[in-house]
Amino acid sequence: MPTLPLPLAAICGLACEPSLLPRVRMAIAMVAQEVFAEAPETPGYLVRWNLAKTVLSPTEAQAAQMMVGIVASPPMVAAAAATGTTDPSTMAAAISDDQILGAIRMGWNAVAGVSPSASAQGSQPET
């Protein structure tokens, strides 16, 4: 099992950082719009679409709940660790919008409830 590049307390601090929350809310809404444009053949389409409908205008509470999973994603932890600090506001400021969007896209299926087997079946080429 790999060692965390940051202490859990630092990751928790980032997940609770008020300056990151509005950016996460907007990123959730942006990814929801992307999901609406997906083809119905996309693996897990119905649950992906339902999640998008539910969080299109995410409340602060919804975004705060999703923040934990977003911040705990490997790319976000790596981006936070690359700052060389454990100060939540400094880490939040150093994380790019693209990194936030990427973390949300990466976790969308899990939050929506798409099974890993459905995702794997959809990514295999047809014969």
Report the pLDDT value the prediction gives residue 1, as an integer from 0 to 100: 63
d(CA 76, CA 93): 12
Backbone angles phi, psi at 21, to 5 degrees: -60, -45
Check: pTM over 0.85? Answer yes or no: no
Report the pLDDT value the prediction gives residue 119, as an integer from 0 to 100: 60
Report the pLDDT value the prediction gives residue 126, as an integer from 0 to 100: 40
Report the pLDDT value the prediction gives residue 62, as an integer from 0 to 100: 86
Report the pLDDT value the prediction gives residue 24, as an integer from 0 to 100: 93
Report the pLDDT value the prediction gives residue 120, as an integer from 0 to 100: 63
d(CA 21, CA 15): 8
Residues of the chain under the 70 pLDDT cut: 1, 118-127
Report the pLDDT value the prediction gives residue 127, as an integer from 0 to 100: 35
Report the pLDDT value the prediction gives residue 122, as an integer from 0 to 100: 54
**What are the tokens at 28?**
């959730």
- Report the chain's C-alpha Rg in angstroms: 15
